[in-house]
Structure 1
Amino acid sequence: MVKLSANDRAQASVKTYDVKSSLEAEDKIAREAVKSKRRNRQVRLQANYNIMILKKKAKKLRNQERQKLREAHGEILYPKMEPRTIESMRVPDPTFEENLTEEQLEAEKNDETLDYFTNRYKPKLLITSPHFPSKTTRLFCREMLKVFPNSTLLYRKATPLHKVCTDAYKHGYSDVIDVFVPRKAKMPTSLIYAHLPEGPSIHFRLSGITFMKDIPDKFPGSVNNPELILTNFKTAQGRRLARLFAILFPSDPDFRKRQVVVFHNQRDFVFFRRYKYAFRKEGEKVVLKEVGPRFTLKNRKLLKGLPKFDNDNVEYEYNPHKFVKNKKLFAN
């Protein structure tokens, strides 16, 4: 393939920078398009390079011309054009909060998390991992102990997870988190969360793990009841997922420690962050310092009961072929 030299590019670009209007640019693009169909490869290459530069120049000139018309005639005649993004082209979901009444939103809360929100129990969490976990998996489990108050770490080895959940409920645990890592892998790849005694269970894909020691400019954390922030859980399934995250933490945060745990949902990816905050002046400025760890969760499967992976137990399963255009989402 013939490549343009720096001199050829300079000669090609000279023809395009003297354009003064978008109409003139479109006219030159049409002329260069004729040249781009000639048999000479060098001429075709230079013409295509000219077209590329002219299209950029025409776009910039159109924006400038529209801005001048907007200033002269106002926003009503020439409004700002909204870009076409994935969010703007989303399929509307009937379960958004603005589409439901207050009675329907209250009825949603009568689920498996009702006992927690009526202060009938305090969460007690069991963190576990199967087989012989790697060094990084053990480190991640120990850091999870610092994130969740009133939690215990126990390696289950080859014991089935549903049996661990049954025994954990007998010993007073309310939830189980299983950090899974393949036998030949180092980093954990998935996380299974089971609410006791009857579920539901959620299978997350785990990625983007950054340990506390690897976070730049970090701040030392403490094991206490943190404040909880859940953002961008808009659909009915998303609000249910947010409530399941909420029941992992005690409902009486320690405000003096000024520690915040954030679950932020963006296009069905849940980003976990933990911060410490401080006030520089009385009620004016707040400084955030990340504590860690940080990781990302992607919901793969939602089960009705305890984690037995059969078809009758599946309530939701991620299908990459169904949502290939990313216009319909699960949690937001």
Structure 2
Amino acid sequence: MVSLGKKRQRDEDDDGPGPSGNQAPTVGQQTSHIKNKQVRGAKYAKLKHEKNKLKKKERALREKEVARAEELGIEPPPKPVPKTIENTREKDETMVQPDDAEVAADEDQDEFAEHFKRVRPPNVLITTSYKVTGAMYRFISELLEVLPCATYYKRQGYPLKKIVEYAKSRDFTDLMVFNEDRKQINGLLLVHLPDGPTAQFRLSNLVLSNDIKGHARATSHRPELVLNNFDTRLGHRVGRMFASLFHQDPTFRGRRVVTFHNQRDFIFFRHHRYIFEERQKKEKGKKEKVNTVKARLQEIGPRFTLKLQSLQKGTFNSKGGEFEWMHKAGEQDTSRRKFQL
């Protein structure tokens, strides 16, 4: 059960000032000065009820205006844009514009440049922590279907530094190390070879293909790659790290899509295939049905969520490594509308 204080704080966050900064005081702000808890709760409930009634009345009025516009054949009034945490995001000085020449020049010479110039095709080595269960092996087998350019090697007790050196000598471009603790797959260490960087992620909400209802089967075609909302300099760097795991020339015939969707600094991984279906649809003013082609998605799996913990310069070095970025809960989590990626 959520306490009244927490609920009021959440309302203040959700209804707070938007980009214009000229919003009316929220229900929580109107009642926060009342010291008596029972009086404050009753006043809060009353104001909230009145606010909901006003919203319902405004919604009904908008629906009438839209219906009237359709009857007259004119353009309906624009739909109001709801305020979300995403569109009220605090501005970040590291946000990257699409036509930023400085960023383009930096990325033309960074560690991933050879991949995007198609000089060095991806060759990924996948391994795990020391002790793993059957769930890890099932996950790795599905991941090998996602990444046609990947090879799995059993850990066999080797330290990570030796594995990094071995991968370098065998011309691997990337190393992925998945961690398991108490039968839960909970971490990913991603190392770009030969010169880094190294990213550490927390992994959660893993769902394997067999647990996804109506899932599809993966083919051997190279998948398309979609990267969403990696908007800052750090986000660009992480996005380029993910992109370096996949070939730059996908096989479109396979209709496979791999998506890394960043939302509020949580990176959601999804693996789909798209299907084109021909259906009959009845249009307004016509008696006969018209054939239309629609596209839909069928999930293949697996699905999981990543949260960036650190980004280190160079390859893995737990003691003397220099960090480009590290998650610091006390300093970076001060606002719900401030994001790093």
Structures share fold, TM-score greater than 0.5? yes
TM-score, scaled relative to structure 1: 0.76
Report the CA distance between 1:164 and its aligned residue: 0.3
Q: Secondary structure at the match of 1:188?
A: strand
Partner in structure 2 of residue 191 of structure 1: 188
Partner in structure 2 of residue 10 of structure 1: none
Q: 1:48 to 1:97 in 2, by over 3 A?
A: closer
Name the CA distance, whole Å, in 1 between partners of 2:175 and 2:293.
Answer: 40
Deviation digits for residues 64-98 of structure 1 (CA, Å, limit 9, x no counterpart): 676799999xxxxxx99876643354331123233
Q: Secondary structure at the match of 1:280?
A: strand
Query: Percent identity of the aligned residues?
Result: 33
Structure with the greater alpha carbon radius of gyration: 1
Name the CA distance, whole Å, in 2 between partners of 1:68 and 1:141.
Answer: 52
8 Å contact kept, 2:86–2:264 = no
Write the letter of the residue equivalent to 1:329.
F
Q: Secondary structure at the match of 2:184?
A: coil
Deviation digits for residues 28-79 of structure 1 (CA, Å, limit 9, x no counterpart): x99xxx9x97xxxxxx97x78864653333113443676799999xxxxxx9
Matched, 1:297 2:296: no
Q: 1:55 to 1:177 in 2, by over 3 A?
A: same
8 Å contact kept, 2:312–2:321 = no
Q: 1:132 to 1:90 in 2, by over 3 A?
A: same
8 Å contact kept, 2:259–2:270 = yes
Partner in structure 2 of residue 106 of structure 1: 104
Report the CA distance between 1:283 and its aligned residue: 8.4
Greater shift in the superposed pair: 289-298 or 278-287: 278-287
Matched, 1:152 2:161: no
Write the letter of the residue equivalent to 2:128.
S
Write the letter of the residue equivalent to 2:101.
E
Q: How many residues align?
A: 285
Report the CA distance between 1:293 and its aligned residue: 0.3
Q: Secondary structure at the match of 1:60?
A: helix
Q: 1:111 to 1:291 in 2, by over 3 A?
A: same
Name the CA distance, whole Å, in 1 between partners of 2:87 and 2:253.
Answer: 41
Partner in structure 2 of residue 12 of structure 1: none
Matched, 1:63 2:55: yes
8 Å contact kept, 1:134–1:187 = no
Write the letter of the residue equivalent to 2:192.
H
Name the CA distance, whole Å, in 2 between partners of 1:90 and 1:230.
Answer: 19
TM-score, scaled relative to structure 2: 0.74
Name the CA distance, whole Å, in 2 between partners of 1:311 and 1:81.
Answer: 52
Deviation digits for residues 181-221 of structure 1 (CA, Å, limit 9, x no counterpart): 13xx1021100000111110100000010001000111111
Write the letter of the residue equivalent to 2:137.
R
Partner in structure 2 of residue 122 of structure 1: 121
Name the CA distance, whole Å, in 2 between partners of 1:138 and 1:131.
Answer: 13
Name the CA distance, whole Å, in 1 between partners of 2:41 and 2:149.
Answer: 64
- Two-structure CA RMSD over aligned residues (Å): 3.2
Matched, 1:329 2:327: no
Unpaired runs of 5+ in structure 1? 1-25, 38-43, 73-78
Partner in structure 1 of residue 201 of structure 2: 204
Q: Secondary structure at the match of 2:185?
A: coil
Partner in structure 2 of residue 11 of structure 1: none
Report the CA distance between 1:270 and its aligned residue: 0.6
Matched, 1:169 2:168: yes
Q: 1:50 to 1:327 in 2, by over 3 A?
A: closer
Name the CA distance, whole Å, in 1 between partners of 2:197 and 2:155.
Answer: 20
Match of 2:317 among 289, 305, 308: 308
Unpaired runs of 5+ in structure 2? 1-26, 66-77, 279-290
